[in-house]
Amino acid sequence: MNHYFGDHWKWDMMIAFPPCRYLTRSGSRWWKDRKEEQKQALNFVKFLMNMNIEKIAIENPPGAIGTNIRKADQYIQPWQFGHPEKKMTGLWLKNLPKLISTNVVKSKMDSLPKKLQNKCHYAAPGADRWKERSRTLQGIANAMAEQWG
């Protein structure tokens, strides 16, 4: 919550990227041991969804948000926005249209080895692995800025 300044600011739009550690389906095998952390993460997402902001987009992989709060309004893939790779991402939207693909490169992606198609899943182990796996690709960020901004 480093960027929330209280009620004296009036924001017209928020694009939120809450940490997915306790929310993503890929981590579901650990959910039973992290119920309190997941509860806190879901409460944070609910807090974001209920902010008094006209337009809201919340980005997260498929997982606990869709099963505990509500289904995503849209799922997108990087290959729809110029990146020949897979990483399904959900968008929970309030007063925003669904993103429209800007540069579909699925055919190019299909010819690549699996490791390149799924870069985030094959990211090398290490202290910064989470950063690589959670980054928002430039094509998606550009689409958000151009279509929602």
Q: Mean pLDDT per segment of 10 residues, for the chain of length 149 residues? A: 60 92 73 82 96 96 93 96 91 98 87 68 66 81 96
Identify whether the C-beta of residue 117 lies closer than 8 Å to the C-beta of residue 84.
Answer: yes
Residue 12: the pLDDT is 93
* 85 in any annotated domain: yes
Q: Give the C-alpha separation, 4 to 114, whole Å.
A: 40
Q: Containing domain of residue 131, as a range?
A: 13-148
Rounded to two decimals, the pTM is: 0.81
* 1 in any annotated domain: no
* 50 in any annotated domain: yes
* 3 in any annotated domain: no
Residue 22: the pLDDT is 80
* 4 in any annotated domain: no
Residue 93: the pLDDT is 98
Residue 23: the pLDDT is 86
Number of domains forming the structure of the chain: 1
Residue 54: the pLDDT is 96
> Cα-flanking dihedrals φ and ψ of residue 145, to 5°?
-65, -45
Residue 30: the pLDDT is 65
* 97 in any annotated domain: yes
* 6 in any annotated domain: no
Residue 119: the pLDDT is 62
Q: Give the C-alpha separation, 105 to 10, whole Å.
A: 38
